[in-house]
Chains A and B, each alone.
Chain A
Amino acid sequence: MKLLILGATSAIAQEALKPFAKERADFFLVARDKVKLAAVAGDLRTRGAGKVEEYPADLNNLSIHQNLIDTALANLNGIDIILIAYGTLSNQEACQGSVDETLREFTTNCLSIISLLTRLANYCEQQRHGCIAVISSVAGDRGRKSNYVYGTAKGALSIFLQGLRNRLMNANVQVITVKPGFVNTPMTKGLQKNALFAEPEFVGKKIYQAIKKRQDIVYVPGFWRLIMFGIRCIPERIFKSRSL
């Protein structure tokens, strides 16, 4: 099994990859920080991974995407599973005050991923098999004042993935949208933790299971499916005056 991981130093990605390493998969790992990438690679190799290639790169730089994908394909000699796990938790207030900040966040959390997916989808469609799993968020299910820049990016991403799922169905390519709620990771270090926070081990395990079971849209933990359904049902004239 050959995996391309974009955002390999994500806390959730690290957990999701562990069972694949035990199954002796080959990995092409992409992340910005070389030292962290080496630590993740060492962990996967010790757990039983086959080949592990480390490729430091900033995925916000859209011009490198094609070269990156070509290198991954050549290195792995094909790709079976793609996991996109990078992102930033946008500072809503900072974004409100700065167009540049807003567009930068949107590039990181949406446009850069769309750039990668457009190329990867074509490849997977051609080879007529594969699995693309992308970490989106429950925040994309409805816009709310506390995080709508982040929510917009994730919402746009979720719709893009939905379309991709529809298109690639006949090519035997699975597209999985993972929608975690709150997760206890470096990304959420500024947030007050409460009982709703899931651990990266739990979310990673669910991603592994979703890939194995070829699922579509996966809320993690599952109770978020119900919560977000409820949130989506609230009429706009009521929701707009709330601070949810």
Chain B
Amino acid sequence: MNNYQSWGQYPRSTPQTVLPMHWSNDSVPFSSSDRTFLPYACGRSYGDSCLNNDGTLLDVRSLRRFISFDDHTGVLRCESGVTISEILHLVVEKGWFIPVTPGTQFVSVGGAIANDIHGKNHHQAGTFGRHVRSFELLRSSGERFMCSRQQNSDLFCATIGGLGLTGIITWAEIQLKPVFGPWIATQRCRFSNLNDFFDLSAQADQAFEYTVAWIDCFSKGSALGRGIFIRGNHQNATQCPSAPPKSRTKFTMPLNSPFALFNSTTLKLFNYAYYYNSPKKASISFEPYDRFFYPLDSIQHANRLYGSKGFLQYQCVIPRQDQEEGIQALLSHIQRSKQGSSLAVLKQFGSIASPGILSFPRPGTTLALDFPYRGNRTLNLLSDLDEIVVSLGGAVYPAKDARMSSYHFQQYFPKWKEFSRYIDKKFSSNFWRRVTETADVPTNIEMDQ
């Protein structure tokens, strides 16, 4: 039974009502309530950008029909509740792939657009929004807007990265990319410190479509930022492991763990073992796409491993000119705080611009960290990290955020006022109310057909 929380299970939230939308031509009773609305599909946003306390959540997960797929051009049209997993199950065997994928396949197309998600190939492909051709947006006036770069383009750009606040995406059309099969040719090698990461990344980004690094955030001194570098490309026409990929056995967490399984000791041990278990020199191996892109998806409800207190993810980006200094400062501060992150990931973003007004990625380096929620200790640490990020002109990712202040949000996203003019007046979220608490929010534009 869905209790409509976010992935981090922090903060806990109770919508006043949940209204399912079963068909894309359903009319929604927007005027039946004074309260605000927010679409909700898979609930994989970490913080509160998918929550609407005391308001109405529109459960759009039933909008999960495919509409059409042209397997010559790779253009796919589907309802917004279809997940990346469902798309890949349809298209990979026909020689197509999703152009941008996050670290889980269980996000909806609507969610992918609303968060303008990025992946390990940002340096070559940009964000998801770049590959969206069009979508239909249902606003609280009852009007449906066809949005594309040519039509209602301002609403198109506001909705990409718009956190579901501009209306409901009922269906979307995406340009997929051709692939030769389900395998990824991958290489992994360990590196000794942060400088080595930047060197490896600079080399790898030219030749590899997918690059990312796992970081041991307990390492310090000359080993600060040591980790494992992972790079990969889709198989080429001649590379074809003989056996097809086997489907992985899934383990499920049926309930929240009674205590957080991660603490400093277990994490230090795990990190040590994981780091030294990886080879010094990279060699090619083939992995099926779901193992390469979605290692954590093999544990269903993996978020429950953190227990009922939940966890917070902090993902920031430091602009290119200060990236070495900035990431060093962040990692040093975390190491000194003794609050271990159970997952620390580092990646360089490229320069390809997104059409989304409120898009998060920008040229520089992104660091993503998971912290079990331990009350004010955790919140204070993240506030400290905010000070480092804001001083260097960086940003924090709304899709992962549960606590950034309105001051920091407005610094991170200077175009937020321009974006807010496109918000539908009947739509809101916990996140939006929090980050505009102390601001004069401009009045919404009334959209005409």
Q: Quick one: closest A residue to B23, CB to CB?
A: A36
Interchain CA distance A193-B1 in the complex, whole Å: 7
- Does B65 contact A39, Cβ atoms closer than 8 Å? yes
Question: Given known contacts A11-B62, A47-B90, A194-B1, is B68 in contact with A42 (CB within 8 Å)?
Answer: yes
Interchain CA distance A197-B69 in the complex, whole Å: 33
- Does A11 contact B67, Cβ atoms closer than 8 Å? no
Kindly list chain A residues whose C-beta atoms are within 8 Å of the C-beta of B220.
none
Q: Is A235 an interface residue (CB 8 A)?
A: no
Kindly list chain A residues whose C-beta atoms are within 8 Å of the C-beta of B68.
42, 45-46
Q: Quick one: closest B residue to A198, CB to CB?
A: B1
Q: Is B24 an interface residue (CB 8 A)?
A: yes
Q: Is B198 an interface residue (CB 8 A)?
A: no
Q: Is A189 an interface residue (CB 8 A)?
A: yes
**CB within 8 Å of A: which of B73-89?**
78
- Does B25 contact A35, Cβ atoms closer than 8 Å? yes
Q: Is A186 an interface residue (CB 8 A)?
A: yes
- Does A186 contact B22, Cβ atoms closer than 8 Å? yes
- Does A43 contact B65, Cβ atoms closer than 8 Å? yes
Question: Given known contacts A11-B22, A36-B23, A39-B24, is B1 in contact with A46 (CB within 8 Å)?
Answer: no
**CB within 8 Å of B: which of A24-67?**
35-36, 39-40, 42-43, 45-47
- Does A39 contact B62, Cβ atoms closer than 8 Å? no
Question: Given known contacts A39-B65, A197-B1, is B20 in contact with A46 (CB within 8 Å)?
Answer: no
- Does A42 contact B67, Cβ atoms closer than 8 Å? yes
- Does A195 contact B1, Cβ atoms closer than 8 Å? yes
How many residues does chain B have at the interface if contact means C-beta atoms less than 8 Å apart?
14
Interchain CA distance A106-B68 in the complex, whole Å: 38
Q: Is B66 an interface residue (CB 8 A)?
A: yes
Interchain CA distance A39-B81 in the complex, whole Å: 14
Kindly list chain B residues whose C-beta atoms are within 8 Å of the C-beta of A197.
1
- Does A39 contact B23, Cβ atoms closer than 8 Å? yes
**CB within 8 Å of A: which of B6-39?**
20, 22-25
Interchain CA distance A17-B25 in the complex, whole Å: 22
Interchain nearest-CB distance for B66 vs A (Å): 4
- Does B20 contact A186, Cβ atoms closer than 8 Å? yes
Kindly list chain A residues whose C-beta atoms are within 8 Å of the C-beta of B66.
42-43, 46-47
Interchain nearest-CB distance for B27 vs A (Å): 12
Interchain nearest-CB distance for A83 vs B (Å): 18
Interchain CA distance A184-B4 in the complex, whole Å: 15
Interchain nearest-CB distance for A20 vs B (Å): 15
Kindly list chain A residues whose C-beta atoms are within 8 Å of the C-beta of B67.
39, 42-43, 46
A interface majority secondary structure: helix
Kindly list chain B residues whose C-beta atoms are within 8 Å of the C-beta of A194.
1
Kindly list chain B residues whose C-beta atoms are within 8 Å of the C-beta of A184.
1
Question: Given known contacts A46-B90, A193-B1, A197-B1, is B65 in contact with A40 (CB within 8 Å)?
Answer: yes
Interchain nearest-CB distance for B56 vs A (Å): 14
**CB within 8 Å of A: which of B83-111?**
90
Q: Quick one: closest A residue to B61, CB to CB?
A: A199
Interchain nearest-CB distance for A80 vs B (Å): 24
Q: Quick one: closest A residue to B22, CB to CB?
A: A186
- Does B69 contact A46, Cβ atoms closer than 8 Å? yes
Interchain CA distance A35-B24 in the complex, whole Å: 10
- Does B65 contact A42, Cβ atoms closer than 8 Å? yes
Interchain CA distance A11-B24 in the complex, whole Å: 14
Kindly list chain A residues whose C-beta atoms are within 8 Å of the C-beta of B22.
11, 186
Kindly list chain B residues whose C-beta atoms are within 8 Å of the C-beta of A189.
20
Interchain nearest-CB distance for A44 vs B (Å): 9
Q: Quick one: closest A residue to B90, CB to CB?
A: A47
Interchain nearest-CB distance for A203 vs B (Å): 14
Interchain CA distance A47-B65 in the complex, whole Å: 10
Interchain CA distance A184-B65 in the complex, whole Å: 17
Q: Quick one: closest B residue to A21, CB to CB?
A: B66
**CB within 8 Å of B: which of A180-195?**
184, 186, 189, 193-195
Kindly list chain B residues whose C-beta atoms are within 8 Å of the C-beta of A195.
1
Give the interface centre of B1, B24, B25, B90 by most chain A CB atoms within 10 Å. B1
Interchain CA distance A35-B22 in the complex, whole Å: 13
Kindly list chain A residues whose C-beta atoms are within 8 Å of the C-beta of B62.
11
Interchain nearest-CB distance for A115 vs B (Å): 28
Interchain nearest-CB distance for A54 vs B (Å): 14
Interchain CA distance A40-B62 in the complex, whole Å: 12
Give the interface centre of B24, B62, B66, B78 by most chain A CB atoms within 10 Å. B66
Interchain CA distance A95-B25 in the complex, whole Å: 31
Contact with B along A1-28 (1 / 0, CB 8 A): 0000000000100100000000000000
**CB within 8 Å of B: which of A65-113?**
none
Interchain CA distance A194-B3 in the complex, whole Å: 10
Interchain nearest-CB distance for A88 vs B (Å): 15
Interchain CA distance A201-B190 in the complex, whole Å: 42
Kindly list chain A residues whose C-beta atoms are within 8 Å of the C-beta of B69.
46
Shortest Cβ-Cβ A-B pairs, 5 listed: A46-B66, A43-B65, A43-B66, A46-B69, A42-B67
A-B contact pairs, 17 of them (CB 8 A): A11-B22, A11-B62, A35-B25, A39-B24, A42-B65, A42-B66, A43-B67, A45-B68, A46-B67, A46-B68, A184-B1, A186-B20, A186-B22, A189-B20, A193-B1, A194-B1, A197-B1
The chain A residues found within 8 Å of chain B, CB to CB, are 11, 14, 35-36, 39-40, 42-43, 45-47, 184, 186, 189, 193-195, 197
Given A35-B23, A35-B25, A46-B68, 19 additional A-B pairs, CB 8 A: A11-B22, A11-B62, A39-B23, A39-B24, A40-B65, A42-B65, A42-B66, A42-B68, A43-B65, A43-B66, A45-B68, A46-B66, A46-B69, A47-B90, A186-B20, A186-B22, A193-B1, A194-B1, A195-B1
